[in-house]
């Protein structure tokens, strides 16, 4: 949007300049002022329309209406940046955490230690925003090598509203199972990162093993949930930032979709 | 928001007035001006925060994160009104219709006439916005008697982006089945309303029969979809404005959630 604005302003300056050169008395001053006011309001309209369309795109993603996508729309980069770095993302995280907490409190636990809440890790418990802010907020294809380097630093921060929910469900007596698309070879750095970020007492941490490579996240995670069920667990809640964390088979009683307009995992 | 603004302004006028009466020289003029600028910016901040929280609430609804609710939050009435009557709602309807169309075109139909697209009716094909705009946009409990009177007028208008999708899937060779929570006794007025709004050639129109009364929409609609499957239909697409149109069992291959921040049907 900023780019568009600058581009249009520069174009207009050239127009204004050429008009001045032609004949400074040709166009009376009030007309020029009116013209420039029109342009300002036109720019605002373009800005508003772009914001509306990018919000609509983001909504469609959160409601699982979008077809598979690889990068965010080029014209929405600024919008996504504003959302992720501003209050919008934080408030949305708080809302989903609060609703999940209300649901969790209303569940009557069996008391046999078999009631489970599943959490995804990236953009659910841990934030990779420093990585994505340095990589165009989802503009540009996902770079496995670069992202792995970031993961191996082990410095992702807690998503605070999720940490709050995490502690709530633990205190209510749920068993917590972490189910992530991260690779088994990142187990140790992931454990350290989670502990440093304040997470504790999970029952199990499931990462992608060699046999899970190549599977879609939906299939891999459904299979793992199916194994939990076979072990006698009841999957009551499931929190994830991707619909592939939540859909497929062996579904939870209730699932909670955390916001993430930066990337899509099938 | 407008109400809050007026209320705060009136309060401030009283404060300013009482100060004037006390001693007009007590507070130097520049201080008063600074004070009123602060108040303006404070009001803007409150406005922005409210807008953010209402947007977050709406998002949470579209992503199926909200716990069951009966009325929209009182402080979001103005926000929901602006959304429904402005470009936001239209753009969101266009986005979901476009994404559904892209998906539909990519489906390889079997050619045996058994590929089905299910549509809900209210707030999916037909708009009851005139009714809801006269009833606080979802503020206030749902009034069955009043709403039935509106339905019986048979004047609901087509949701244009949905009509476009409807015609697209028909042209692609899908069978269209309409599955609505409306009562069987409204069949005739519903058929007339649909035809007047431009809908045609549906394969079947399923309304709630006496035996379906009292069932949740999720169960009623799942049962009906299950019957379709037993008749050999493959439910490829499903469009609805409520998650209860889309979830439960006998799910479609892909479902599309139309926006609706005005009411929630379990």
Question: pLDDT at position B38, please?
Answer: 85
Q: Which CATH class is domain B90-257?
A: alpha beta
Is it the case that residue B5 has pLDDT exceeding 70? no
Which of A57, A59, A87 lies nearest to residue B59, judging by beta carbons?
A59
Residue A81: the pLDDT is 97
pLDDT of A129-178, one tens digit each? 999 999 999 898 889 999 999 999 999 999 999 999 999 999 999 999 99
pLDDT of residue A37: 74
Q: What confidence tier does B37 reach under pLDDT thresholds 50, 70, 90?
A: confident
- pLDDT-based confidence at residue B147 (cuts at 50, 70, 90): very high
Question: Cβ A64–B88 below 8 Å, yes or no?
Answer: no
How many angstroms separate the CA of residue B102 from the nearest CA in chain A?
8
Structure ipTM: 0.84
Question: Would you kindly state where each structural domain of chain B is located, as residue ranges?
Answer: 2-55, 90-257
Q: Is it the case that residue B1 has pLDDT exceeding 70?
A: no
Name which residue leads in pLDDT, A246 or B8. Answer: A246
HEC-encoded secondary structure of B166-184: HHHHHHHCCEEEEEEEEEH
Indicate if the pLDDT at residue B255 is higher than 50. Answer: yes
pLDDT in tens, B41-65: 999 999 999 999 999 999 999 999 9
Mean per-residue pLDDT of chain B: 89
- pLDDT < 70: residue spans in chain A: 1-36
Instruction: Give Cα A67 to chain centroid, integer Å.
Output: 16
**What was the pLDDT predicted at B16?**
36
Convert the pLDDT of each residue in B96-113 to its tens digit: 999 999 999 999 999 999
- Residue A50: closest CA among chain B residues belongs to which residue? B91
Judge contact between B1 and B50, C-beta under 8 A.
yes
Interface of B with A (CB under 8 A): 49, 52-53, 55-57, 59-60, 62-67, 87-88, 91-92, 94-96, 99-100, 102-103, 255-257, 259
pLDDT band at B34 (very low <50, low <70, confident <90, very high): low
Contact B92 A57 (CB under 8 A): no
> Is CATH 3.40.50.1000 the right assignment for the domain spanning A79-257?
yes
Task: Give one DSSP letter per residue of chain A, joined into a string.
Answer: -HHHHHHHHHHHHHHHHHHHHH-TTTS-HHHHHHHHHHHHHHHHHHHHHHHHHHHHHHHHHHTT-SPP-SS--GGGHHHHHHHHHSHHHHHHHHHHHHHHHHHHHH----SSS-EEEEE--BTTTEE-HHHHHTTGGG-S---HHHHHHHHHHT-PEE-HHHHHHHHHHHHHTPEEEEEEEEEGGGHHHHHHHHHHTT----SEEEEE-GGGTTS-HHHHHHHHHHHHHHTT-EEEEEEESSHHHH-SSS--SEEEE----S----
CB B82 within 8 A of CB B248: no
Q: Average pLDDT, stretch B142-163?
A: 96
């Amino acid at each position: 949007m900023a780019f568009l604005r600058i581009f249009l302003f520069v174009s207009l300056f050239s127009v204004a300049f050429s008009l001045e050169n032609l004949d400074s008395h040709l166009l009376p001053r009030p007309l020029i002022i009116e013209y420039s006011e029109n342009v300002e309001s036109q720019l605002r309209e373009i800005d508003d329309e772009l914001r509306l369309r990018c919000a609509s795109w983001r909504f469609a993603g959160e409601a699982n209406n979008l077809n598979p996508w690889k990068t965010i729309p080029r014209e929405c980069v600024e919008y996504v940046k504003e959302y992720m770095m501003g209050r919008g993302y934080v408030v949305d995280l708080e809302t989903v955490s609060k609703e999940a907490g209300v649901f969790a409190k209303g569940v009557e636990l069996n008391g046999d230690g078999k009631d489970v809440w599943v959490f995804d890790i990236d953009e659910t418990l841990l934030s990779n925003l420093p990585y994505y802010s340095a990589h165009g907020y989802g503009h540009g294809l996902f770079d496995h090598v670069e992202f792995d380097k970031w993961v191996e630093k082990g410095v992702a921060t807690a998503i605070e509203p999720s940490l709050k929910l995490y502690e709530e469900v633990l205190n209510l007596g749920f068993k917590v199972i972490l189910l992530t698309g991260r690779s088994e070879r990142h187990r140790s750095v992931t454990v350290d990162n989670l502990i440093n970020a304040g997470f504790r007492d999970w029952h199990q941490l499931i990462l992608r093993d060699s046999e899970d490579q190549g599977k879609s996240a939906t299939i891999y995670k459904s299979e793992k949930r199916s194994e939990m069920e076979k072990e006698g667990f009841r999957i009551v809640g499931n929190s994830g930032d991707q619909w592939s964390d939540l859909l497929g088979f062996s579904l939870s009683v209730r699932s909670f979709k955390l916001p993430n307009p930066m990337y899509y995992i099938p």
